Amino acid sequence: MSSDSKLSGDKATVHKVTVHEVAKYAGVSISSVSRALSDHPHVSNALRTRVRSAALSLGYRPDFLAHSLRSGTTYSVGFVVGTISNPIMADISASLGNVLADHDYAMMLLSSQNKPELETTYLRFLAHRQVSGLVISTAADGATQAAELIHGLGIPTVMLDRQRPPGSHVSAVQSDHRSGMQAAVAHLLSRGHRRIALIGGQEFFDPARERLAGFHTAMQEADIAIDPELVRCMGMSKTVGYTETRSLLASSNPPTALIAGGNLILAGVLQALQELKVAVGRDLALVGCDDTELTRLYSPPITVIARDLALMGETTAWLLLETIANRAGRTVVLPTQLIIRDSSS
């Protein structure tokens, strides 16, 4: 079955087996072949088995493109991501792609580089290819623009780590950043810290807003006034992490603990701390978001607000398949978990 035809590799004259040949071989009509193979009702057992065996012995597989054209379903989904170089997205993408492949879906990956205009370009690109579904973690600023486009396209979609926009064909997978942040703050408070700084994304960005809310709640619950100087919600980037860390530590009354509200921010924070010769864990307690190779292997290992990224990818896949089938969008919120390591002791 595998290497029946000359595997020349240069001529590649495999003579595709078509439904026509199967029909002739089995002595039936084309339409009967199609029906027999796709489990239609009203097909006699005799005919079904005859066609089945004919197809098998000829090695027939329906042409993918012809099938797509006729049926209108491409069995492929588009994944628009800020950048796959972000280890979070890489982990999610891995499990997402695997579950999809298990269901015979192909995943087309496109990196928008967090540029809203590239995002819409790619969404149209994917729409033109008639993908059966979309997964997207929209850029921080182009959120409404993308949401409108997705709404207009009418393609079943899962928003990744974003709020669910209106539209019955769009779902969302979110993380419980708020609780995670509350746990992190509570942990630092229990270690005696009172001056806790937070570097995060801007408030219009869903995950950043949730984290900030959790921060406020936890501090209020402990009855501790927040020094506004210590809260720096400027953007989800390495640059922000770097700049704000230097600024915070240069102050006359620096924080004793720092929470980096995003893995990109953490990278900037670490670089700044290294340059300033600040010993992580001794001079400054540090908590990051999302568990990566870096946080696990760093010396000392870094406490993080983690989430199960593989689970997140799988959930996204399942939710997308569900939304494709039902066209009834919904939101799924996954838990976060505080992993305490040496950086905050």
What does the alpha-carbon distance between residue 219 and residue 230 come to, in Å, rounded to a whole number? 13
Q: Where are the beta strands (DSSP E) in the chain?
A: 76-81, 106-111, 133-136, 157-160, 170-175, 196-200, 231-233, 257-260, 285-289, 303-306, 331-334, 337-339
CB closer to a second copy out of 83 and 345: 83
The values of phi and psi at residue 248, to 5°, are -60, -45
The number of C-alpha atoms within 13 Å of 230 and in the hemisphere containing its C-beta is 19
Contact predicate 103/321, CB 8 Å: yes
Say which entry of DNA, a second copy, none residue 326 contacts (CB below 5 to 8 A, set by partner kind). Answer: none
Choose between 8 and 190: whose C-beta lies nearer to a second copy: 8
The mark string for 38-57 relative to DNA (x by CB under 7 A, - otherwise) is x--xxxx-xx----------
227/171 Cα distance (integer angstroms): 37
> Is there binding between residue 128 and DNA (CB under 7 A)?
no
Any contact of residue 69 with DNA (CB under 7 A)?
Answer: yes
For residue 239, state whether it binds DNA (rule: CB under 7 A). no
Contact (Cβ atoms closer than 8 angstroms) between residue 139 and residue 120:
no
Pairwise CA distance, residues 9 & 59, whole Å = 19
Is 83 a binder of a second copy (CB under 8 A)? yes
- Mask: binding to a second copy, 43-82, rule CB under 8 A, as x and -? ------------------x-xxxx-xx----x-x-x----
Instruction: Dig out the tokens for 221 from the structure.
Output: 């619950």
**What does the alpha-carbon distance between residue 103 and residue 86 come to, in Å, rounded to a whole number?**
26
Candidates 35-43, 132-140, 190-198, 291-299: pick the segment binding a second copy (CB under 8 A): 291-299
By CB under 7 A, name the binding residues for DNA. Answer: 16-20, 27-35, 37-38, 41-44, 46-47, 60-63, 66-67, 69-71
Residues at the interface with a second copy (CB under 8 A) = 3, 7-12, 14, 61, 63-66, 68-69, 74, 76, 78, 83-85, 87, 90-91, 93-94, 97-98, 101, 104, 106-111, 113, 122, 125-126, 128-130, 148, 151-154, 167-169, 267, 270-271, 274, 280, 293-294, 297-299, 301
